[in-house]
Copies of this chain bind each other. A is one copy, B any other.
Amino acid sequence: MFTDLSPKYRPLSTDTVAAYVHSRPELREVFHDGEPLEAVEVGDGNLNYVFKVWAQADPERTIVLKQALPYLRLVGDSWPLPTDRARIEAQALEIESRLCPQHTPRVYFYDADMYLIAMQNLNHHVIMRKGLIQGIQYPLFADHIGLFLARTLAYTSDLVLDYRTKKLEVARFINPELCKITEDLIFTEPYRYTERNRFHKELEPQVLALQANEALRVEVAKMKEKFMTQAQALIHGDLHTGSVMINQTETYAIDPEFAFYGPMGFDVGAVIGNLLLSYASHEVRTKDAGKQQAFRQYLMNTIIRLWQVFEQEFQKVWDEVDPINMPKGYQQDYMLRVLQDSAGLGACKMMRRVIGLAGVEDIRGIEDVHERAIAGSLALNIAQTLIMNRHDIHTIADLVQMTASCRPSYPWQG
């Protein structure tokens, strides 16, 4: 299992990290030779060590080291994961930096022996999910992420890349083990009995009904197939609100270790689906009706705006490409398919966050079990509605309206 490890690989610790940092010439622009450094390990993900390192003399001179572990931390070493994902992440960051530098953390270097990326420490930013849980609004997020999505997706697709480059990129970003996690945890396990599912008893009637719903399972199978076969663009592959570092003026998309050539709607849908999980959570998280309404309005406006920016920035690419081979009617059809994919794929991501192994704090962090069931039930109903009716969505307003019509099924009537 571990035989493919580089002989020079050794997991860093807070004790060894300073020596490592001082050994790297690429970091001389940040740290003075041999100066005292401080470091903490802050990996709250499941796949990696993440060290924040800063100069004792000046905490603003700081970097992050992200080192891949050869197994999935969440379940211990029973689930080995190839360290090749660190290469994938480094190469994806490099492409994102080129296409959208303002929303991609700066990379200092990738160490292929240590499976380690040294990058900008986003120390003036928070994980967006945590902000949304507190009801904080980020007014520029929609514009930023819409631009990031349009540029990273359009410019890595056949619309822009020449035929050879695109196909070589598909091969370079083959990412089987991390795709398998998505295939299992998002598209398979939520729809069957497995010990890894982790929903609360209160939600069981709704989950069992979902799992017995043949029509729903057909639609999910079609989306799994799309995820596994459609090499449309280099997608981030895990663009939930926990992969966004944000403040009131800046937005960064981090952690593209799941990157591969897949359907654009998986990234756009990840953002939308996670905003909708926040929407569902505020059913109970915000008690004040006025505040609840205002925050949900913000979330819905964000979804509308991010799609508009995405479409508008994407149009700039269409305007550059071959108009004979890609007539206007094709462009419209293409964008509509991305929208419907986003609804369906994003909804699949919502489902798994309520039913499956890896939940989200927005909902699982709700302390009261009844309140948690209300939010979870609403999230499942929104997701099911979007999956089953995605082909009726023709504008982003349709998606928002469809969402707004959903209510929780819990507490059960009769």
Contact = CB atoms under 8 A, between A and B. Distances in A.
* Most B CB within 10 A of own CB, among A188, A217, A218: A218
A192 B322 CA distance: 12
Interface in A158-173: 158, 163-164, 166-168, 170-171
Given A229-B230, A231-B231, A174 B163 contact: no
17 contacts: A158-B228, A163-B176, A163-B228, A167-B176, A167-B179, A170-B170, A170-B231, A171-B171, A191-B325, A192-B324, A192-B325, A214-B328, A217-B325, A221-B326, A225-B334, A229-B231, A231-B231
Contact of A214 (B174, B187, B329): B329
Given A187-B325, A217-B329, A221-B326, 7 more contacts: A163-B183, A171-B171, A171-B174, A191-B324, A192-B325, A215-B329, A217-B325
Given A164-B180, A222-B333, A217 B327 contact: yes
A231 B214 CA distance: 26
Interface of A: 158, 163-164, 166-168, 170-171, 174-177, 179-180, 183, 187-188, 191-192, 214-215, 217-218, 221-222, 224-225, 228-232, 324-330, 333-334
Contacts of A329: 214-215, 217-218
**A-B residue pairs, 5 tightest by C-beta:** A171-B171, A218-B329, A221-B330, A164-B176, A167-B176
A177 B165 CA distance: 11
A191 B326 CA distance: 11
* Most B CB within 10 A of own CB, among A158, A168, A221: A221
Nearest to A158: B228
Nearest to A324: B192
* Most B CB within 10 A of own CB, among A158, A180, A214, A225: A225
Nearest to A322: B188
Contact of A229 (B188, B218, B232, B327): B232
A325 B163 contact: no
A183 to B, nearest CB: 6
Contacts of A188: 325
A230 B225 CA distance: 10
Nearest to A332: B218
Given A170-B170, A171-B174, A231-B231, A224 B325 contact: yes
A218 B176 contact: no
A325 B164 contact: no
A8 to B, nearest CB: 25
A219 to B, nearest CB: 9
Contacts of A170: 170-171, 174, 231
A286 B191 CA distance: 57
A230 B231 CA distance: 6
A175 B229 CA distance: 17
A325 B221 contact: yes
Given A225-B158, A228-B158, A179 B163 contact: yes
Contacts of A176: 163-164, 167-168
B167 A174 contact: yes
Contacts of A164: 176-177, 180
Contacts of A225: 158, 334
Contacts of A174: 167-168, 170-171
Nearest to A187: B325
A232 B221 CA distance: 14
Nearest to A173: B171
* Most B CB within 10 A of own CB, among A167, A175, A191, A334: A167
A68 B328 CA distance: 40
